[in-house]
Amino acid sequence: MQQGLSFSHVGFYVQDINKMERFYHELLGFFVTDRGTLSGPTGDFNLVFLSRNPDEHHQIVLATGRPESIDFNIINQVSLRADSLGTLKTLYHKLSAAGASDIRPVTHGNAISIYLRDPEGNRLELFIDTPWYVDQPMRVPVDFNLPDDELMEHVEAHARKLPGFQPRTEWRARMAKLMGVE
């Protein structure tokens, strides 16, 4: 890993902190690690800290104070890595049954992803990496009702037809050299 900075956590201003806490806890499995109130220039605001990693105090922090009149969210997406295709498919079915909005399973060739919106419209990506790299951007829908092996065969067959196809290990070696972390 490159020395210096590494990504740690993200914070969201929210309108309904209880609804957002339930979503991230009940549907995505984050645990509340702390909560409290701070004073700011516009008054008090409440905070809920959530994590799925005991080494990270929080990976997500929710803060009250999001205005209801915001028409555009400048954050394109927040991406969360799943540990397996099985986990990703389980989450897809759980989120679908819970009525998650704008849920879309796709492949980027180098990843298999689920895109969805949290209760306040923030776009999330839940994903796993594939063993391949293809030039980006690229996105096509996938069928999460297929058996795992059939789904992976479909994703690989499509990826092999795309520009830049190569094993992820080759792509990673090239990036490590570029970043000076060989």
Do 61 and 87 fall within a single domain?
no
Which amino acid, 43?
A: G
In whole numbers, what is the pLDDT of the chain averaged over residues?
94
Domain boundary among 66, 98, 114: 66
**60 in Cβ contact with 12 (< 8 Å):** yes
Evaluate whether residue 129 is within a structural domain.
Answer: yes
Structure tokens at 31: 């645990």
Tokens 């298999």, residue located = 112
Domain that holds residue 41: 7-66
Q: What is the pLDDT of residue 61?
A: 97
Q: What is the pLDDT of residue 2?
A: 63
SS (H, E, C) 110-133: CEEEEEEECCCCCEEEEEEECCEE
Our CA angle for 172, 173, 179, nearest 5°, is 85
Q: What is the pLDDT of residue 13?
A: 93
Q: What is the pLDDT of residue 1?
A: 58
Q: What is the pLDDT of residue 161?
A: 96
Q: What is the pLDDT of residue 8?
A: 87
What is the CATH number for 43? 3.10.180.10
Q: What is the pLDDT of residue 71?
A: 79
Q: What is the pLDDT of residue 6?
A: 78
100: three-class secondary structure by DSSP: coil
Do 19 and 88 fall within a single domain?
no
Q: What is the pLDDT of residue 73?
A: 80
Do 41 and 99 fall within a single domain?
no
Q: What residue ranges of the chain have pLDDT lower than 70? A: 1-3
Evaluate whether residue 115 is within a structural domain.
Answer: yes
How many domains are there within the chain?
2
- For 25-73, the pLDDT digits (tens) are 999 999 999 999 999 888 899 999 999 999 999 999 999 999 888 878 8
**pTM, to two decimals:** 0.90
Evaluate whether residue 42 is within a structural domain.
Answer: yes
Length of the chain in terms of residues written: 182
